[in-house]
Amino acid sequence: MRMRIYQMDMTREDSHHGIKPVDEHGKIDPTKYRKVLDAEVNEDTLLGAYYLFNTVDPHPLYSGHAMTEGDVIVTKEGAFAWNSKLGFQKVDFDESKAHTENQIKVLFVQPHAKPYVAEIPNTLEAKQRAVGGLIEFIYNHDGTTLVGDEEAKIKYKEGNRYLDGMGIIAGNFLVVGLTEEDCRSLTDEEIQRYQEKYDEAPDISPEETEADVGFTMIQFM
């Protein structure tokens, strides 16, 4: 199920002065929230998602804490806030007013799955969480780069995609845009190009991936 999760923004200056997720009229105030997930989740119910996001490692693109009172999940069915006594209650929630600063639009590519567009914080920690390790950059020479786990093969992660004569990339990876100094959101044209490029998820054997260890045509930032 595709979902976006919002939690109280604890970076706010007033976050230590008792701000509440619900205002005096009993309504959710989206300006007090930040987006902590925008991704596909292997859960079909809100309650299942609640339990998932209270585990140690719920999702590689998740940048929040364990779900708690007032957290909001948005699906195609609407927005729902968690209430410890009543469960999830449908609420009005204007996502455009929530905090999404420093987030970039990326393509997330996993083994045996079609790639999809997601938004993540433009931080080293978020990229490392997404790929599950120390990151390496594999440049595409068109203003974009792949971001993967530099130790994926020696960790025996599954082969993911073939890289145009450059061997195999293993484990989860991101496709992101580049500026001269940092990463950026992909453009619509870049998203379409790389969704088509990585649409087919090949069946790469462990033996083939293991044999590709030590390939040298990867560049690092």
Strands (E), 115-204: 116-121, 135-139, 144-149, 159-162, 168-170, 173-178, 183-184
**pLDDT value of residue 219:** 42
- What is the phi/psi pair of residue 19, to 5°? -65, 145
Exposed e or buried b for every residue in 99-117, given b needs 16+ CB within 10 A?
bbeebbbbbbbbbeeebeb
**pLDDT value of residue 23:** 53
pTM of the full structure: 0.86
Determine the Cα–Cα distance for residues 130 and 149; give it in Å rounded to an integer. Answer: 9
Determine the Cα–Cα distance for residues 56 and 211; give it in Å rounded to an integer. Answer: 33
163, 176 in Cβ contact below 8 A?
A: no
- What residues in the chain have per-residue pLDDT under 70? 11-26, 214-221
Nearest to 36 by CA among 115, 107, 101, 108: 101
**pLDDT value of residue 164:** 85
3-state secondary structure of 159: strand
